[in-house]
Structure 1
């Protein structure tokens, strides 16, 4: 099993339900683990894997464009885009807001899903992951 991991992506997101969270962006941190094929390990070609620079840029673009009430919805939306555009065989995605509760380092959510689960949730006909 091959995987790409990207830890502690720092970004700003418009997320929250409380009045002080509705006036602007706040910091979030995203960590990803993505299941990939072993093709790139053999071919040494970026076309055979997920370009993590492109992936991080795409996540930041989404966070710049949308507002989310809940971290759960933010995480689910990012997972959907990752599956639709980058096609990992599975992913683990966690997102947290640092220092939002006194005496608590992080509060966040984690999603673990495979490509088939994503397709079933979205109601698409099943296609083989790349």
Structure 2
């Protein structure tokens, strides 16, 4: 990894959405937990201390929240891919990972999660 790469981590963003294909999942919102990691070259931001030279993680997070909370998803794969599209949409992003947990999806497990990655 290049020394000027910065890593933004959005950890345990807890949201509610319609996710799944079973009748109960279609009718009731469920909890999901979003984790995103975004790599970008931040040398200008580190030197300038100017917000225009940095990725704005608040803007990214608000887009993720709007996507998740205002839509319905049948598959965790589709939801995770849509969130990855937001996390990696800026031209500066070189690498991104999104993992989404669906707590209590399986009877004897804390959660089921899916992870997808983007690399420029």
Do they superpose with TM above 0.5? yes
Q: 1:4 aligns with which of 3, 8, 29?
A: 8
Verify the 8 A CA contact 1:50 1:86 in the aligned structure 2.
no
User: What CA distance in whole angstroms lies between the structure 1 residues aligned with 2:102 and 2:11?
Assistant: 14
Counting matched residue pairs gives: 115
Q: 1:44 aligns with which of 41, 49, 61?
A: 49
Structure 2: 5+ residue runs without aligned partners? none
Q: 2:89 aligns with which of 84, 87, 91?
A: 84
TM-score (norm 2): 0.87
Verify the 8 A CA contact 2:36 2:87 in the aligned structure 1.
no
**Higher helix proportion, which one?**
1
Flag as ranges the 4+ runs of structure 1 deviating above 6 A: none
Structure 1: 5+ residue runs without aligned partners? 116-130
Per-residue Cα deviation, 1:23-59 (whole angstroms, up to 9, x for no partner): 0311100101101112211111222122112211111
User: What CA distance in whole angstroms lies between the structure 1 residues aligned with 2:108 and 2:94?
Assistant: 37
Verify the 8 A CA contact 1:91 1:112 in the aligned structure 2.
yes
Verify the 8 A CA contact 2:17 2:70 in the aligned structure 1.
no
User: What CA distance in whole angstroms lies between the structure 2 residues aligned with 1:114 and 1:77?
Assistant: 15
Q: How does 1:1-130 map to 2 (within 5 A)?
A: 1-38=5-42, 39-85=44-90, 87-115=92-120
Per-residue Cα deviation, 1:56-99 (whole angstroms, up to 9, x for no partner): 11111111222110010001111112323575211011001112
Verify the 8 A CA contact 1:28 1:96 in the aligned structure 2.
yes
